Amino acid sequence: MKFFVDTADIAEIRDLAATGLVDGVTTNPSLVAKTGRNFLDVVAEICSVVEGPVSAEVTAMDHETMVAEGRKLAAIAPNVAVKVPLTIDGLKTCKVLSGAGTLVNVTLCFSSAQALLAAKAGASFISPFVGRLDDIAQDGMDLIREIREIYDNYPHLKTEILVASVRHPRHVVDSARIGADVVTLPPDVLRKLALHPLTDKGLDTFMADWKKTGQTILG
Ligand code: E4P
């Protein structure tokens, strides 16, 4: 399963990319707004740091303007994945851009019917938002299970399931168990994946015992 980071904060992206664990980046207009920076500059900088897909979202609501925006974003770097909303105009835009060889991420997916449409429109990625479904007392992971089942029925569909709106490590583990292709993680969730109190406790004991030996490995 691939790990993307869900942020437009370049310092965070550089820090996490240095771990070798980051396969791509997702941004959205809210995350870009938080940076206070120029959107196109931010996308270009992220693409220079991360080799994998970098999602950059169109902000138009109509098909023609979405296509124009998508082409402009795609021209920034070959690893830009143009993000379009799951609307009819967004799906039409997905079909045009993906037909021209551009990576497209269809976002704001909340049902398996929507995911089926995105796959038919040739999306490279479908982004179901699990956390926002949990927020309204639906089980977000049920949606991932359903989409996996549907896509697996039609092996010619190449759309990857990109689990979005991830809130905690359990979402990541459940996504892996279901066989999602990608999870996009807020930086704090990625860091939390490495944590376990028994790891800390065990390390404290090892280090205390090692100190007693008076040795150093490097001499
Ligand atoms: C996905 O690409 C979105 O940027 C993101 O996961 C949304 O998450 P949120 O529900 O925490 O805003």
Q: How many angstroms separate the CA atoms of 119 and 219, rounded?
A: 58
C-beta of residue 71 within 8 angstroms of C-beta of residue 97:
yes
In a domain, 219, yes or no: no
Reported as a single tens digit per residue, the pLDDT across 148-170 is 999 999 999 999 999 999 999 99
Ligand 1, atom 7, lies closest to the CA of 165
Ligand 1, residues at Cβ distance < 6 Å: 6, 26, 28, 107, 127, 129, 131-132, 164-165, 184
Instruction: Write down the pLDDT at residue 106.
Output: 98
Reported as a single tens digit per residue, the pLDDT across 75-106 is 999 999 999 999 999 999 999 999 999 999 99
Instruction: Write down the pLDDT at residue 149.
Output: 98
Across all residues in the chain, what is the average pLDDT? Answer: 98
Catalytic residue, candidates 83, 92, 120, 192 = 83
In a domain, 96, yes or no: yes
End-to-end CA distance of the chain: 40
Global pTM value: 0.97
Identity at 167, one-letter amino acid code: R
In a domain, 44, yes or no: yes
Look at the chain and report how many structural domains it folds into: 1
Reported as a single tens digit per residue, the pLDDT across 28-63 is 999 999 999 999 999 999 999 999 999 999 999 999
In a domain, 218, yes or no: no
Continuous H helices in the chain = 10-17, 29-35, 39-49, 63-74, 88-99, 112-120, 130-135, 140-153, 169-178, 187-192, 197-213
Instruction: Write down the pLDDT at residue 57.
Output: 98
CA distances from 9 to 35, 113, 157, 167, 187 (A): 6, 33, 33, 18, 10
Instruction: Write down the pLDDT at residue 28.
Output: 98
Give the atom of ligand 1 at the shortest distance from the alpha carbon of 28. 4
What does the pLDDT average to over 1-22?
A: 98
Instruction: Write down the pLDDT at residue 103.
Output: 98
22 CA distance to ligand 1 middle (Å): 17
Share of the chain above pLDDT 90, in %: 100
Active site residue 211: no
Confidence of residue 70 (pLDDT cuts 50, 70, 90): very high
Token duo for residue 95: 């079909």
Confidence of residue 5 (pLDDT cuts 50, 70, 90): very high
User: Where residue 60 sits, what CATH number does that domain have?
Assistant: 3.20.20.70
126 CA distance to ligand 1 middle (Å): 13
Which residue, 118, 148, 155, is CA-closest to 130? 148
In a domain, 138, yes or no: yes
215 CA distance to ligand 1 middle (Å): 48
> Domain range spanning residue 118?
2-213
10 CA distance to ligand 1 middle (Å): 17
Confidence of residue 210 (pLDDT cuts 50, 70, 90): very high
In a domain, 125, yes or no: yes
In a domain, 13, yes or no: yes
